[in-house]
Amino acid sequence: MKTNRGAKKRFKFAKNGKIRRNKANKRHLLTAKSTKVKRHARGTTTLTDGDARLVRRLIPYGRK
């Protein structure tokens, strides 16, 4: 099985096995967004169980 290259670049595995992703809305048109929106878009968050199941199929050799 091949690893989906786009998924490999977008998702990382945390130590506990959960999948981490970057938050959205932080790329462009930032002057129109409030400071609160930009602050909450910082950092990473974990995927929900349903989404994680789909991503695990795209990255079959990641952490279980």
Report which residue type is found at 52. Answer: A
Between CA 22 and CA 12 the distance in angstroms is 9
Tally of domains in the chain: 1
Position 42 in a domain = yes
Would you give per-residue pLDDT tens digits along the chain (64 residues)?
999 999 999 999 999 999 999 999 999 999 999 999 999 999 999 999 999 999 999 999 988 7
Find, among 21, 20, 64, the residue nearest to 56 by Cα: 64
Q: What is the CATH number of the domain that holds 37?
A: 4.10.410.60
Position 63 in a domain = no
Position 54 in a domain = yes
